[in-house]
Structure 1
Amino acid sequence: MKIKTAFLSLLAASVIAGTAFAGILDEPKMMAPFFTDKTMKTMKSDAQMKKVWAKMSKKNQTAMMKECQDAAMSKPHAEFCAKLNALAGHA
């Protein structure tokens, strides 16, 4: 019985934590403007990305930069974050 309780507790914690880890870099509507295709595999040119970045609210810019500075959050988006850091003057 203790194993079952421990397993269910672990499962519940992982579900809650998984939801908490989703951030702005995982939101397709926020990321899509930076890409040329619907699959979001090909990023736009630096000039086009700069235009998209300039049109974003400061709140969204700050959230993206914060996630790009977090190693765990930015790992799946390393190439994007590298370009974003260059755009924002952090690279």
Structure 2
Amino acid sequence: MNIRTVCLGALAASILAGAAIAGALDEPKMMAPFFTDASMKTMKSDADMKKVWAGMAKGDQAMMMKECNDAAMSKPHAQFCEKLKALGGSK
């Protein structure tokens, strides 16, 4: 087998695996509206979070809730997911 083919295959597999691991909860453009600061450390008030949630596309809401309901995916975002579920996001 050609070494070039093997290397290109390995590169393609690593790119696809990296894309599969990153989800909506890891996307700054999806998460930023829920936070008050650029470092995304301080969440907005419940009322503001509910407004942001209500203004999101249903597909984005479903993707975020799917990840929040997955224990492995939500672990780094546990506080955010708890708040989202409490605000009615798990409907």
User: 1:18 Cα shift?
Assistant: 3.2
SS in 1 for 2:53: helix
- In structure 2, C-alpha distance between the alignment counterparts of 1:53 and 1:33, rounded to whole Å: 9
- Where structure 2 has 5 or more consecutive residues not aligned to the other structure, the ranges are 1-6
Contact 2:24 2:64 in 1 (8 A): yes
Contact 2:65 2:89 in 1 (8 A): no
- In structure 1, C-alpha distance between the alignment counterparts of 2:85 and 2:20, rounded to whole Å: 24
Give the equivalent residue in structure 1 for 2:54: 54
* TM-score for the superposition, normalised by structure 2: 0.79
Give the equivalent residue in structure 2 for 1:66: 66
Give the equivalent residue in structure 2 for 1:83: 83
Matched, 1:42 2:42: yes
SS in 2 for 1:42: coil
* TM-score for the superposition, normalised by structure 1: 0.79
- In structure 1, C-alpha distance between the alignment counterparts of 2:17 and 2:69, rounded to whole Å: 20
SS in 2 for 1:88: helix
User: 1:87 Cα shift?
Assistant: 1.3
- Where structure 1 has 5 or more consecutive residues not aligned to the other structure, the ranges are 1-7
1:30-86 per-residue CA deviation (whole Å, 9 max, x = no partner) reads 100000000000000001000000000110000000000000100000000000111
RMSD: 1.7
Q: In structure 1, what residue type is equivalent to 2:80?
A: F
State the identity %.
72
